[in-house]
Structure 1
């Protein structure tokens, strides 16, 4: 089924930030758009706001005045829902309440023609439940935009149990025509993004709870090593803890208490205290005028650097070796199991075991583990941990070595998987389960996480870069360390490893 023609009338119900944004996107794409809200005057006020935004684009030279006028002319506020009867597509963006949305859809079914597509912008409610009770539930689907809709590229096209595949295909094609990056997904709790993203917040919250490092340090590692735009504490402060915590609780409940989605007591305490983040002036960070932002903990060393010996290769961290060589570090190569020796220290990429456990099991003294990085040739900071017997002198050697290559080090307590590695492993694990359960394809899941929440790389592509076997080993070691169902590896990872395949084979 092809995209809606540009002369097809689009209606948006709900004139809040999301509804207004969707109306702007549809009008910009050339459709006549009717905007309705049950608050008198709200639709007209929202359209005035859209026009002001378009005016700012004209001032910046990103839109000409004639185009602004044409877009504004296509936007029409309507006070009566009956005025939407001739629409080809109606997108509701009202309060996130199942019964209220379902009642609205039932009303629209009696008003609109039988070929009109009824779409919900819900971020968490079941499309199957929303369509239940309608005479033609096959024409109901999800069209989940991300805020702000004019800027964010992703649209999750959500199919309920009764959704006609042709309807989903039309919404997908229409989203493409509107300049978006759509993905297909089934109506399961959290769809793709709100499900797969849970570990990004959960692992940092657990590390904070365990005292592995402070907020500023963990956020810096996610940015400077992981390549994420924001760390979990910065991001939840921006989203609002009431919103983020509620989504986590909703997904946790919808999956019958699966501990993979367990909410954090630390975040609950913030919500209970009214510390909701930026909008309340305080969350994990203080946003009061004049408040100083805490700085990440960083190590420094004036130790002289001994020549290094590389035993085998460092796997995904191998580009670090070339970076050290480019910095003038002498490195001798010999066979081995993936260790870099500098002075008395032994440096290795974490495999999910505690440093002290790995030192004992592998017979290594002065072991220092490094965290995962998106790109070791560019990362400006790395997380490290050390075994209990690592001497201060050996640790200084590692800090000085990495500093020579322009890398700042932040030390975490001896914790399994450090920060970036365990987070990426859990994101990939959740993505793998989503593929296994038919929620979306591997390609769509990676696209959704890049376009919907600005991840630097899709988690499944990242898993392939790390190596499916290596990722599985990290998860098995996390599972063994904690003894919790939370860290159980996805069956799909085990299957792919056994069959020597990747997600895209």
Structure 2
């Protein structure tokens, strides 16, 4: 690219599908002249009709002035062929995810555009460096990854290829803001930021389900109502659809050379093959009737409270949470305060990262009476509580614990034995992967949290979430899960381990000379 700075005023878009027309909409509303090209004239006509109807609906709802709608539509021009894109300052391709086709397109565009024109790819999974390798001027090729639906998902990833000129990325950062979107900057690595960070929720949720710990619906309920996420992993997979999500999971896993943290699950492969891809097909992990999710009902909680309860002293914080909750119960439950529990006491443990069985054995407790309760999120503030049995826990003790923790009407999920329950292991994995993204320098901690909050709808960024729960707590959960399961997917990233041990924020960046 030339060293002179310039402002993008005319934007070309190749591909008039959902992504292309969405980018055209926000660009035109942002005051840019837009040229749309598609090899299929019918698709181009459909895009023009869609945009006209969309502007009309926005006007009818009072979200757009009629004059502004007419002006925006007038700024959008159909291009009959690639040569009609010659006066564009930047071109965004939004065609199919095929490396060879994208390379061929950019080679053809280079023959007709000016030397200052930026060539941007909306790819979600392909390497920007690999796309640029087919160009005579790879320095002007940049990733410009929007999310669907573009007008509502107000974040866009700007990705620098290895041969990219940073000024081209700077120009797209400015362009994104002019179009009303929030840009985040990333290095060219598989999954960039959002699709990379999203592995934590999806792959770990699938891993929990594959171990038979809990049902799809229970895992979703726990992640929503206990951990505070807007959607659980299976609701999210149904929304994005497995024909999109499963190939991305496989692609990122293989691009990272079979990194265990990103290992896909055969659950999604089997369901994809069977056509159970999600909401748009009417059936995925849930059935949908008239677009409404059909979730199974929960059984009512038992009502017979335990007579006597012994609470482990292994975790002071966990014990205090349970005692505080029981004190609010206003019932006849007796606290067994002995160091050795009475023979009829319900035994409550509050492990971090360990399963109930390992905890029972390490504390020399009768496994038939042991119940573990997840205290990562305070018991008195959550909208759902999770308790966990050992394989030997009797139904009577299980039901008594269920009744105890549901005494105030807060629903309780009863799950099978699992290192890290459900919320602990999924949240710790989310935080750990975000720390690994920071460790690799793919993006700044601020951009990681911003991208995930806007792109995935999480209640807060993964690094901010780790800070809120405590980096040392997250580190303990991961190490204990790794000790229990022997699985390298739970090994803590150095970014997390060092900051936890030093008492630093997960957003802390060390100063280098």
The TM-score with structure 2 as length reference comes to 0.88
Using the TM superposition, give the Cα deviation of residue 313 of structure 1 relative to its aligned residue in structure 2, in angstroms: 7.5
Using the TM superposition, give the Cα deviation of residue 354 of structure 1 relative to its aligned residue in structure 2, in angstroms: 1.0
- Identify the residue that residue 484 of structure 1 maps to in structure 2: 487
Q: What secondary structure is seen at the aligned counterpart in 2 of 1:205?
A: helix
Q: Structure 1 residues 114 and 210, CA, compared in 2 at 3 Å: closer, same or farther?
A: same
Bigger Cα displacement from structure 2, 56-65 vs 450-459: 56-65
- Identify the residue that residue 430 of structure 2 maps to in structure 1: 427
Q: What secondary structure is seen at the aligned counterpart in 1 of 2:482?
A: helix
Contact 1:299 1:409 in 2 (8 A): no
- Identify the residue that residue 511 of structure 2 maps to in structure 1: none
Bigger Cα displacement from structure 2, 457-466 vs 297-306: 297-306
Q: 1:475 aligns with which of 478, 494, 513?
A: 478
Q: Supply the distance in 1 between the matched residues of 2:448 and 2:334 (Cα, whole angstroms).
A: 41
- Identify the residue that residue 36 of structure 1 maps to in structure 2: 37
Bigger Cα displacement from structure 2, 49-58 vs 316-325: 316-325
- Identify the residue that residue 466 of structure 2 maps to in structure 1: 463
Q: Supply the distance in 2 between the matched residues of 1:356 and 1:457 (Cα, whole angstroms).
A: 33
1:57-88 deviation digits (Å, cap 9, x = unpaired): 22222222122111111111111111111111
Q: Structure 1 residues 11 and 336, CA, compared in 2 at 3 Å: closer, same or farther?
A: farther
The unaligned stretches of length 5 or more in structure 2 are 509-513
The TM-score with structure 1 as length reference comes to 0.90
The unaligned stretches of length 5 or more in structure 1 are none
Using the TM superposition, give the Cα deviation of residue 3 of structure 1 relative to its aligned residue in structure 2, in angstroms: 10
Q: Supply the distance in 2 between the matched residues of 1:80 and 1:499 (Cα, whole angstroms).
A: 59
Bigger Cα displacement from structure 2, 317-326 vs 233-242: 317-326
Q: Supply the distance in 2 between the matched residues of 1:291 and 1:139 (Cα, whole angstroms).
A: 45
Q: Supply the distance in 2 between the matched residues of 1:160 and 1:291 (Cα, whole angstroms).
A: 42
Q: Supply the distance in 2 between the matched residues of 1:442 and 1:336 (Cα, whole angstroms).
A: 47
- Identify the residue that residue 294 of structure 2 maps to in structure 1: 293
Instruction: Trace 1:293-372 onto structure 2 (pairs within 5 A).
Output: 293-295=294-296, 297-298=298-299, 300-304=301-305, 315=317, 344-364=345-365, 366-371=369-374
Q: Supply the distance in 1 between the matched residues of 2:5 and 2:258 (Cα, whole angstroms).
A: 39
1:110-142 deviation digits (Å, cap 9, x = unpaired): 211111111110001001111114232111111
Q: Does 1:224 align with 2:225?
A: yes
Q: Supply the distance in 1 between the matched residues of 2:380 and 2:27 (Cα, whole angstroms).
A: 42
Q: Supply the distance in 2 between the matched residues of 1:41 and 1:47 (Cα, whole angstroms).
A: 10
Alignment root-mean-square deviation, CA: 3.2
- Identify the residue that residue 177 of structure 2 maps to in structure 1: 176
1:241-290 deviation digits (Å, cap 9, x = unpaired): 12211111111111112222122111111122222223333322233679
1:373-407 deviation digits (Å, cap 9, x = unpaired): 66755432222202356555544443333323331
Instruction: Trace 1:88-127 onto structure 2 (pairs within 5 A).
Output: 88-127=89-128
- Identify the residue that residue 243 of structure 1 maps to in structure 2: 244
Q: Structure 1 residues 296 and 491, CA, compared in 2 at 3 Å: closer, same or farther?
A: farther
- Identify the residue that residue 187 of structure 1 maps to in structure 2: 188
Q: Does 1:27 align with 2:28?
A: yes
Bigger Cα displacement from structure 2, 201-210 vs 247-256: 201-210
Q: Does 1:257 align with 2:275?
A: no
- Identify the residue that residue 141 of structure 1 maps to in structure 2: 142
Contact 1:225 1:372 in 2 (8 A): no
Q: Supply the distance in 2 between the matched residues of 1:49 and 1:403 (Cα, whole angstroms).
A: 50
Using the TM superposition, give the Cα deviation of residue 182 of structure 1 relative to its aligned residue in structure 2, in angstroms: 1.5
Q: What secondary structure is seen at the aligned counterpart in 2 of 1:287?
A: strand
Q: Supply the distance in 2 between the matched residues of 1:148 and 1:131 (Cα, whole angstroms).
A: 26
Aligned residues: 500
- Identify the residue that residue 87 of structure 2 maps to in structure 1: 86
Using the TM superposition, give the Cα deviation of residue 300 of structure 1 relative to its aligned residue in structure 2, in angstroms: 0.9
Q: What secondary structure is seen at the aligned counterpart in 2 of 1:183?
A: strand
- Identify the residue that residue 443 of structure 1 maps to in structure 2: 446
